[in-house]
Chains A and B, each alone.
Chain A
Amino acid sequence: MDIFLQQLVNGLTLGSVYAIVALGYTMVYGIIQLINFAHGEVVMIGAMVSLSVINALAGSGLGLPPLAILLAGALVAIPACMGVGYALERVAYRPLRSAPRLAPLITAIGLSIILQHLALIVWSRNPLSYPQVVEVVSYHVTHNPDGARITNVQIAIIGTSIAMMAGLTGLIYRTKLGIAMRATSQSQQIAGLMGIDVNRVIALTFVIGAGLASMAGVMVGTYYGIAQYQMGFLLGLKAFSAAVLGGIGNIAGAMLGGLLLGVIEALGAGYVGDLTNLCQLSGWSTAIAQRCAGDPNLSLFGSNYQDVFAFFVLIAVLVFRPSGLLGERVSDRA
């Protein structure tokens, strides 16, 4: 039970990061029906920029409080990522809006490679340790002193994510820009006729998504304590899976999908070893029994398969429910 709770806490933390990144995918998809393949790299840039700022401030000897340093890192990362997001839209998507849909996907892949390797040139090939300016304190979840724990970083990540999701929901459903975005996603032509500057709205969608992604970068960096130029790829792919799981194009779906995927992944990694433990089959084969005598944890799959779960979820959703949990049917939209 304690393992379950602990994995649940870890899963929710990871899941809220996925949700934030997934929102970027789902917003872009909702508005132009295209997958922003380079979105994961925006997360990476966010992590890297904030890392540099935090390192500079922490090493400057100004004696700033840790939270202020972290906040400064985020405040520099957000506009930097917004710039990257805007550039992505201008270079990869706007010129190709009427081209066959594979064309912008391919430019986005190209930009993703370019961003990765520019980051490699700036921040080196090696994994960098993300400065841990905030002292990690962990709290008990239950009364059991050896039981599941939650750290202040985890609480902050979950809290910030919820706040950002609430803010975004407000933006989309309560503001004029939100109305323009929803109108554009229904029909670009009609929205344009209603006096909406469609180009501006689409660009802003990319920029807002990139802003969210930069925060995700800061959170991932703080949580794992590590940043590398390739970190955005897998994270982006998983967040995309989360968006599809929730129903791509659907804001609430991305949040739900992100949280669910995080929990699935954490629980999967925590339990796959026990579930595929071959020693349960000892009665069937003496060879297995002999090996289990030496190693009682002989299992078919271990937690090193953690990264596979997201892909299986993605494939399973697309096969059995392509519309996702909350979305409308998309697979046959031409």
Chain B
Amino acid sequence: MRALIPTKHPLAAKAGVVLIALALAVLPFALTGIGTAWVRITNLAILYVLLSLGLNIVVGFAGLLDLGYIAFYAVGAYTYALLASPHFGLHLPFWVIIPIGSLVACMFGVLLGTPTLKLRGDYLAIVTLGFGEIIRIFLNNLSQPVNITNGAQGIAGIDPFRFGSFDFATTSAIDGVTITGPIKYYYLLLAVLLVVIVVNLRLQNSRIGRAWEAIREDEIAARAMGINTRNMKLLAFAMGASFGGIAGGMFSAIQQFISPESFVLVESINIVAMVVLGGMGNIWGVILGALLLSFVPEVLRYTVGPTQQALFGRMLIDPEVIRMLLFGVTLVAMMLFRPAGLLPSALRKRELETARNGTAAP
């Protein structure tokens, strides 16, 4: 079993962990120095890491390409928004809703999985893509005849996280240190991320994780070994979906406003790109991929505009377009030149190499 801390140089490793923890602890204050926007960007990046880790369970561990993953994020986000906003006048506390949202997303995962899991990989990809679109179209149109989702206008005024009198959205001073809303969310997200990482690591090395790996490698052989492949695949879908649901609930609370616009197909593809870039099946790789594809476009946003202004006197190419081109190029280049990702999982690497050399069945 691979531990969180490598055991070869225990002292150096422990020191490294302490240093990273310290860096992460002071990061938001350092970022506030550059601009508060960067704290928000970091928070969104952590949300993307959460989503990528959730999708990694489905794509990386179990080998099922899900192109509609954002639907579960949407389900989590809307569950939170409906239960904690003036829209229905409900204001349940977050620790009640987040589990509900995760459970609802999980149910949707099973709902999608049950009819589709006997399909082969690329069919599954297209069906999940269709499923994601169906969810979005429903969110967009379920304002008639009974207003459930408020249609394209979205839901505003969503409650932030509150713990008694401690409100995550407002600035407060603790011992003379001003802590803004985004910074509070940052610590919360970091805590959630830590839990999710530990769960993922434990999951990967568990009986279930090994069963997923077996299914990914060879489904028929896995079934012959006595693995209930259908249930295991459903479990992967359900667990991936519930992580998406948790991330969605947090997104809803942090933004305090959601609309179907946030849950378009492109978002699903972004997350797939993050998982692919980092290395499908490798938790650290996926985290790296998600962070890279969250931060690099933001850096571009701040540099590309001014550069173009300076060179041509006007904005020729929108940074958003460059961001999307970057995603596209990432997907193509990674598959062509480094199909196992930046930090490949050992097994995935071996598997791709054998396939490359043509020894695997076509």
Q: Which residue numbers of A lie inside 8 Å of B, CB to CB?
A: 34-35, 91-92, 95-96, 98-107, 109-114, 116-118, 120-121, 125, 233-234, 237, 240-241, 244, 278, 291, 298-302, 304-305, 307-308, 310-312, 314-315, 318-319, 322, 330-334
Residues of A within 8 A of B140 (CB): 304
Q: Whole-angstrom distance between the alpha carbons of A27 and B265 in the complex?
A: 26
Q: Could you tell me the distance in whole angstroms from the C-beta of B221 to the nearest C-beta in chain A?
A: 12
Residue of A109, A233, A299, A330 contacting most chain B CB atoms (<10 Å) = A109
A237-B325 in contact given A107-B332, A318-B116, A331-B119 (Cβ < 8 Å): no
Further contacts, 5 of them, CB under 8 A, given A91-B332, A312-B134: A35-B122, A112-B328, A291-B145, A302-B141, A310-B130
Contact A95 B65 (CB under 8 A): no
CB-CB nearest 3 A-B residue pairs: A110-B331, A113-B328, A114-B328
Contact A103 B335 (CB under 8 A): yes
A98-B331 in contact given A237-B126, A291-B145, A322-B119 (Cβ < 8 Å): no
Residues of B within 8 A of A113 (CB): 266, 269, 324-325, 327-328, 331
Instruction: Answer yes or no: B16 CB below 8 A from chain A CBs.
Output: no
Contact B332 A98 (CB under 8 A): no
Contact partner of B332 among A35, A92, A101, A102, CB < 8 A? A92
Residues of A within 8 A of B137 (CB): 305, 307-308
Residues of A within 8 A of B123 (CB): 35, 244, 318, 322, 331
Q: Could you tell me the distance in whole angstroms from the C-beta of B168 to the nearest C-beta in chain A?
A: 35
Residues of B within 8 A of A322 (CB): 118-119, 123
Q: Whole-angstrom distance between the alpha carbons of A34 and B126 in the complex?
A: 12
Contact B145 A299 (CB under 8 A): yes
Residues of A within 8 A of B10 (CB): none
Contact A107 B134 (CB under 8 A): no
Residue of B at shortest CB range from A92?
B332
A319-B328 in contact given A34-B122, A304-B141, A308-B137 (Cβ < 8 Å): no
Residues of A within 8 A of B122 (CB): 34-35, 101-102, 105
Interface-side segment among B99-107, B190-198, B231-239, B350-358: B350-358
Instruction: Answer yes or no: B165 CB below 8 A from chain A CBs.
Output: no
Q: Whole-angstrom distance between the alpha carbons of A99 and B321 in the complex?
A: 30
Q: Could you tell me the distance in whole angstroms from the C-beta of A55 to the nearest C-beta in chain B?
A: 22
Residues of A within 8 A of B257 (CB): none
18 chain-A/chain-B pairs, Cβ below 8 angstroms: A35-B122, A35-B125, A91-B332, A99-B335, A101-B122, A102-B125, A106-B276, A109-B272, A110-B329, A110-B330, A110-B331, A113-B266, A114-B329, A117-B325, A305-B141, A314-B126, A315-B115, A315-B131
Q: Whole-angstrom distance between the alpha carbons of A6 and B78 in the complex?
A: 38
Contact partner of B324 among A95, A117, A233, CB < 8 A? A117
Instruction: Answer yes or no: B133 CB below 8 A from chain A CBs.
Output: yes
Q: Whole-angstrom distance between the alpha carbons of A35 and B327 in the complex?
A: 20
Residues of A within 8 A of B358 (CB): 98
Q: Which residue numbers of B lie inside 8 Å of A, CB to CB?
A: 63, 65, 67, 115-116, 118-123, 125-127, 129-131, 133-134, 137-138, 140-141, 144-145, 265-266, 269, 272-273, 276, 317-318, 321, 324-325, 327-332, 334-336, 339, 351-352, 355-356, 358, 360-362
Contact B115 A105 (CB under 8 A): no
Residues of A within 8 A of B273 (CB): 110
Q: Could you tell me the distance in whole angstroms from the C-beta of A106 to the nearest C-beta in chain B?
A: 5
Residue of B at shortest CB range from A118?
B325
Contact B352 A99 (CB under 8 A): yes
Q: Whole-angstrom distance between the alpha carbons of A330 and B120 in the complex?
A: 9
A35-B126 in contact given A114-B332, A117-B328, A305-B137 (Cβ < 8 Å): yes
Residues of A within 8 A of B335 (CB): 96, 99, 103-104, 106-107, 110
A300-B145 in contact given A103-B339, A110-B329 (Cβ < 8 Å): yes
A120-B336 in contact given A100-B352, A307-B137 (Cβ < 8 Å): no
Residue of A at shortest CB range from B145?
A298
Residue of A at shortest CB range from B123?
A318
Q: Could you tell me the distance in whole angstroms from the C-beta of B176 to the nearest C-beta in chain A?
A: 48
A100-B355 in contact given A117-B321, A240-B126 (Cβ < 8 Å): yes
Residue of B at shortest CB range from A238?
B130
Q: Could you tell me the distance in whole angstroms from the C-beta of B180 to the nearest C-beta in chain A?
A: 34
Residues of B within 8 A of A107 (CB): 331-332, 335-336
Q: Whole-angstrom distance between the alpha carbons of A103 and B351 in the complex?
A: 13
Q: Whole-angstrom distance between the alpha carbons of A113 and B272 in the complex?
A: 13
Contact partner of B127 among A105, A121, A318, CB < 8 A? A318
Q: Whole-angstrom distance between the alpha carbons of A54 and B197 in the complex?
A: 56
Residue of B at shortest CB range from A113?
B328
Residues of B within 8 A of A98 (CB): 355-356, 358, 360, 362
Residues of A within 8 A of B265 (CB): 233
Q: Could you tell me the distance in whole angstroms from the C-beta of A116 to the nearest C-beta in chain B?
A: 8
Contact A237 B129 (CB under 8 A): yes
Residues of B within 8 A of A307 (CB): 133, 137
A105-B65 in contact given A299-B145, A305-B141 (Cβ < 8 Å): yes
Contact B121 A121 (CB under 8 A): no
Q: Whole-angstrom distance between the alpha carbons of A106 and B273 in the complex?
A: 9
A96-B336 in contact given A105-B125, A107-B331, A302-B144 (Cβ < 8 Å): yes
Residue of A at shortest CB range from B327?
A113
Contact A95 B126 (CB under 8 A): no
Q: Whole-angstrom distance between the alpha carbons of A143 and B126 in the complex?
A: 44
Residues of A within 8 A of B272 (CB): 106, 109
Q: Whole-angstrom distance between the alpha carbons of A116 and B328 in the complex?
A: 10
Q: Could you tell me the distance in whole angstroms from the C-beta of A309 to the nearest C-beta in chain B?
A: 10
Contact B332 A110 (CB under 8 A): yes
Q: Could you tell me the distance in whole angstroms from the C-beta of A185 to the nearest C-beta in chain B?
A: 14
Residue of B at shortest CB range from A276?
B145
Q: Whole-angstrom distance between the alpha carbons of A300 and B138 in the complex?
A: 12
Q: Could you tell me the distance in whole angstroms from the C-beta of B300 to the nearest C-beta in chain A?
A: 14
Residues of A within 8 A of B356 (CB): 98-99
Q: Whole-angstrom distance between the alpha carbons of A52 and B362 in the complex?
A: 43
Contact B339 A308 (CB under 8 A): no
Contact B130 A241 (CB under 8 A): yes
Q: Could you tell me the distance in whole angstroms from the C-beta of A89 to the nearest C-beta in chain B?
A: 13
Contact B145 A99 (CB under 8 A): no
Residue of A at shortest CB range from B124?
A318
Contact B332 A308 (CB under 8 A): no
Residue of A at shortest CB range from B129?
A237
